[in-house]
Amino acid sequence: MRNAVLLTLLALPFCIPADDLVTENGTVYQDYHIADVGSIGIRITYKKDEELRKATVLFKELPDDFLENYKGDPLTTEIFATSLDKRRKIRILKAKRDEELAALEELKTELQEPSAKRKMNSERRKRALRRIRDRQKQVQRIFNGECDKLDAEEARRIEAAKRKAEAAENTEQTKSQ
């Protein structure tokens, strides 16, 4: 009886379904474990065809619910929160950019219609189309600049979190000595 209970307890971990990680692009990592957290993503070990493999998954590929619900060490949690915050800000910027680009594209289409050609002389229409193209480029440059700022802010926040964790670890080591 005792051996049966022991065998049941030993087999129990193999009966529990393992966690799978499904990325934003649909890649599935079965029975994954986080090995390390870097500045651009996580390094994981996972099983594929009963073989243990390693991979790096970028923060931008991790689903929102994974980043929101991760319960781990405080440093990793802070890094995930930082990445999620950046992702949300980029979504807002993209929506604004796409809205303005769509409005500019609509204006451009209107200016290219035959009725607009009759209302405006050729030179005025060409200048208006040039201004629209310039504004489209400017909108994209502004978006790229804001994304660069968010990347830099994310890197600063991650480095600050790492320094804070190292300081806490050093304080704990000096207390134990």
State the pTM of this model. 0.70
Residue 26 in tokens: 């649909």
Round the CA-based radius of gyration of the chain to a whole number and report it. Answer: 26
Q: Is the per-residue pLDDT at 2 higher than 80?
A: no
Coil, strand, or helix at residue 78? helix
Q: Is the per-residue pLDDT at 6 higher than 50?
A: no
Q: Is the per-residue pLDDT at 177 higher than 80?
A: no
Instruction: Write down the pLDDT at residue 18.
Output: 52
Q: How many CA atoms lie within 13 A of 25 on its CB side?
A: 6
Instruction: Write down the pLDDT at residue 119.
Output: 78
Question: What is the Cα–Cα distance from 1 to 149, expressed in whole angstroms?
Answer: 65
Question: What is the Cα–Cα distance from 101 to 138, expressed in whole angstroms?
Answer: 10
In sequence order, the β-bridge partners of residue 55 are: 44
Question: What is the Cα–Cα distance from 69 to 76, expressed in whole angstroms?
Answer: 12
**pLDDT 10s digits, 138-169:** 999 999 999 999 999 998 998 998 898 889 88
Coil, strand, or helix at residue 72? coil
Mean confidence (pLDDT) of the chain: 84
